[in-house]
Structure 1
Amino acid sequence: MTRKAFIHVQHLLGTGHVVRAAAIGKALASSGVEVTLASGNKIPPTLDTGPLRIVELPACKSPDAAFKRLVTLDDEDIDNEWKTARVKASIQAFKEEEFDLLLTETYPFGRRQLDFELSPLLNAAKARPNPPIVATSIRDILVRKKELWKEEWMADQALNHYHRVLVHSDPDFIQLSDSFPFADRIEHLIRYTGYVEGHAGRAADGSDGNDEVIVSCGGGAVAASLLTAALDARPLSRRAGDTRWRVLVGHDVPEDSFHAYQKRASTGVSVERARRDFPDLLKRARLSISQAGYNTVLDVLTAGVAAVFAPFAQKNETEQTQRAEALARHGRAIVTPEMGLTPERLAAAADDALALPRSHHAVLLGGAAKSAEILLNDLKECAA
């Protein structure tokens, strides 16, 4: 009998959440599972979803880094009518098949703004005559909450609704307890998978990337300070001022801003949109300069390239800083704060990164395949 999985994912600013969800979905599909991926935002054009059946839910995003509001892709505030339509779409998609597995990406360890949708989805799963296995997929580091009761609520939701908590990290590197104070309460649910590589990418064209500095920013919605500094940093670098700096601008950056970056670029600096061959560009590069989002960091680690991280740290965001600092402790990167970033400081960080000895600290990868293995084993045990 063919197993069927339903994956729910919502990315609000960056694209890392949907990239991880798709990778796990494709790993399940390669094991013979029919996978439906329900996405609450537009899937980025650089993401290959392969064999997954895609359900496009009424789309929303966060208008800024505060994550206090949800808006439509036209920047209109969502209302009760929109929420009702979103819940209806999710439940309808879930009821189309007899799914054996329900996987929610991040929730309940984030995305509390979507509780109006995901609690009904969980209740619909529980109400089925043969309820599916329910699992959640979370990255290595959670964003800490100011109110402790919110984190306790996360643990309660996991205990009440979930059979498995997949943590996509190397436990010798970062453990859930490093960013979640109630990890001990759900320890029996936790399985570490290793890091989930987002995609293999494709071979870079011609000589693109060879000995270059590759500047990237994921979707780019919150990367203005990094991009602006990178455009003028090349001539200030002693160790990377003699090579091309290739600045990749994410697809969330509006066209007018993208063209402004192109016009501002100095000699030796090229500006283009983010590319599917980004992982291969890194393997050829002299240096990577980026924020410290989950998927970008994994691409950097896989490539083994020297790296500078300017972690996104606006508002109350701590996740990227914690990840970047963990890498710096292992000698894998130089970290420079995003706040007040200047071309001079970025050039100095680039020189420091290129002076680092190459680290041989191996990080556990293969998280998508391991996630699929864990979930399939859970399904077998449930059926036994």
Structure 2
Amino acid sequence: MSRVFFHVQHLLGIGHIRRAAVLARTLAASGFDVLLVSGGAPLRLDLGQARFHQLPPVRARDEGLRALSRLDGSPLDDAFRIERTRQLLELFRAEAPDVLITEQFPFGRTQLRFELLPLLEMAQARRPKPLIVSSVRDIVRRSMSLQRVQQAVDLCRRFDLILIHGDPTLIGFDRSFAGWEAIRTRAAYTGYIAENIGETSEDGMDEVLVSVGGGAVGAPLLQAASGARARGPLADRTWRLLVGANLGQTVDATEGMIVEPARADFRALLRNATLSISQAGYNTVVDTLCSADRAVLVPFGTDRETEQTDRALWLAERGLVAFVSAPELSAETLSAAIDRAIRGPSIRSFPPCDVNGAAATAALLHRRLS
């Protein structure tokens, strides 16, 4: 049985680890012996037959995502980096995998070069050499400097395969990565990675569903949604706010509103809802494209973190969703976007995008190894 060593690091939200868990579970079900190695805060994950290893955890120090800290907020020192790297390399040596997957690197996670570059060097030196694979989202940070783009291109030469978990008929990787022409011969689109969940729910019928993923940066959207409810065309509907475990503050329900934690039957709630209002993280958008009727996307974004804003804007350009940028978010602008979404076409009227990314990844890796 071929072994897969899959490195993933979530820093602020939980989208990266959720997507990696789906991929690890699918790879294991297809016959791989998978070890998912996580460097972020511990979470409960459904990994199926895949195994799991927790590195000493780190997180982003703040929303800027430039610096790392321990979970208690204390900065990383050289001793911590050396010890974590030692543990990672010893684990890799013991596993002797046939496939090494780095999630988002070298297009992101550059704060982890202290451990990922030695990991790449060890993989390249090992005989027989494992297949070295990068697993990356549909969109990367478009604010990369030209120097940073060139560094990513140079590092890609150490990889045998770049797996882009997106659908080029919807959003091409070249729209966000300026070095596309230099890596395209190593790259393969897999389709989006989606949870294969067929759950049903009695809840949420004809409601407005407001969600913020894990909730770490969701407070402004929840506040705006609370203010927009009375102003827009859906004031007579029940509004269900899913606050996420990492919100860090309470949200009070007013008349006509339900406030509750994020739910495992999110896709079923989307199918039942009249409208979804959410941020524009990868997993939420994939769920929205699969299940929602109409949607408003309000991306988390900064001058540096452009991924969610680009995803929401480019989908809005295609007419699939309505869009409000983070700097413009208010009860008034959100209400106007709700009106645009209700008057616009249903997402279900568009051709479906490719969401077979997990199974396609497994099939592609089996072919490459054979």
Q: Which interval holds the TM-score relative to the shorter structure?
A: over 0.9
Is the partner of 1:5 in helix, strand or coil? strand
Structure 1 Cα separation of the partners of residues 40 and 173 of structure 2: 27
Matched with 2:61 is 63
Is the partner of 1:35 in helix, strand or coil? strand
Is the partner of 1:191 in helix, strand or coil? strand
Deviation at 1:253, TM superposition (A): 1.9
Describe the shift of the 1:340–1:185 C-alpha distance in structure 2 as closer, same or farther (beyond 3 A): closer
Comparing 67-76 and 90-99, the one that deviates more: 90-99
Structure 2 Cα separation of the partners of residues 155 and 169 of structure 1: 19
The 8 Å contact of residues 246 and 269 in structure 1, kept in 2 or not, is answered as: yes
Structure 1 Cα separation of the partners of residues 198 and 118 of structure 2: 36
The 8 Å contact of residues 13 and 61 in structure 1, kept in 2 or not, is answered as: yes
Matched with 2:183 is 186
Matched with 2:290 is 302
The 8 Å contact of residues 282 and 303 in structure 1, kept in 2 or not, is answered as: yes
Q: 193, 196, 214: which is aligned to 1:219?
A: 214
Q: 112, 115, 122: which is aligned to 2:113?
A: 115
Matched with 1:247 is 241
Q: CA RMSD in A?
A: 1.5
1:228-280 CA-to-partner distances (Å, cap 9, x unmatched) read: 11122222121x211111111121222xx1x3x1x3x3211121111111111
Map 1:252-331 to 2 at 5 A: 252-254=246-248, 257=249, 259=250, 261=251, 263=252, 265-331=253-319
Structure 1 Cα separation of the partners of residues 362 and 55 of structure 2: 24
Matched, 1:375 2:365: yes
Structure 1 Cα separation of the partners of residues 324 and 95 of structure 2: 48
Matched, 1:175 2:172: yes
Deviation at 1:43, TM superposition (A): 4.5
Aligned residues: 368
Matched with 1:363 is 353
Matched with 2:339 is 351
1:170-196 CA-to-partner distances (Å, cap 9, x unmatched) read: 111222211111111111100011111
Q: Which residue identity lines up with residue 8 of structure 2 in the other structure?
A: V
1:182-216 CA-to-partner distances (Å, cap 9, x unmatched) read: 11111110001111114527433xx2111111111
Structure 2 Cα separation of the partners of residues 151 and 110 of structure 1: 10
Paired-residue identity, %? 42
Matched with 1:337 is 325
1:27-80 CA-to-partner distances (Å, cap 9, x unmatched) read: 2111111110001112544x4222221101111111222112101111111111
Matched with 2:231 is 236
Map 1:35-54 to 2 at 5 A: 35-45=34-44, 47-54=45-52
1:135-165 CA-to-partner distances (Å, cap 9, x unmatched) read: 0000111102442111101010110x21000
Q: Which residue identity lines up with residue 219 of structure 1 in the other structure?
A: G
Deviation at 1:134, TM superposition (A): 0.5
1:77-96 CA-to-partner distances (Å, cap 9, x unmatched) read: 11111111211221122122
Describe the shift of the 1:56–1:130 C-alpha distance in structure 2 as closer, same or farther (beyond 3 A): same
Structure 2 Cα separation of the partners of residues 286 and 370 of structure 1: 32
Matched, 1:99 2:93: no
Describe the shift of the 1:345–1:44 C-alpha distance in structure 2 as closer, same or farther (beyond 3 A): farther
Matched, 1:137 2:112: no
Structure 1 Cα separation of the partners of residues 261 and 41 of structure 2: 17
The 8 Å contact of residues 9 and 38 in structure 2, kept in 1 or not, is answered as: yes
The 8 Å contact of residues 237 and 347 in structure 1, kept in 2 or not, is answered as: yes
Is the partner of 1:122 in helix, strand or coil? helix
The 8 Å contact of residues 22 and 193 in structure 2, kept in 1 or not, is answered as: yes
Is the partner of 2:174 in helix, strand or coil? helix
Deviation at 1:329, TM superposition (A): 2.0
TM-score between both structures, scaled by the size of structure 2: 0.95
Structure 2 Cα separation of the partners of residues 244 and 271 of structure 1: 11
Q: Which residue identity lines up with residue 149 of structure 2 in the other structure?
A: E
Matched with 2:192 is 195
Q: 71, 75, 84: which is aligned to 1:86?
A: 84
Describe the shift of the 1:3–1:61 C-alpha distance in structure 2 as closer, same or farther (beyond 3 A): same
The 8 Å contact of residues 58 and 70 in structure 2, kept in 1 or not, is answered as: yes
Q: Which residue identity lines up with residue 222 of structure 1 in the other structure?
A: V
Structure 2, unpaired ranges of 5+: none
Q: Which residue identity lines up with residue 160 of structure 2 in the other structure?
A: H
The 8 Å contact of residues 42 and 57 in structure 2, kept in 1 or not, is answered as: no
Structure 1 Cα separation of the partners of residues 159 and 144 of structure 2: 24
Matched, 1:208 2:193: no
The 8 Å contact of residues 145 and 151 in structure 1, kept in 2 or not, is answered as: no
Matched with 2:18 is 19
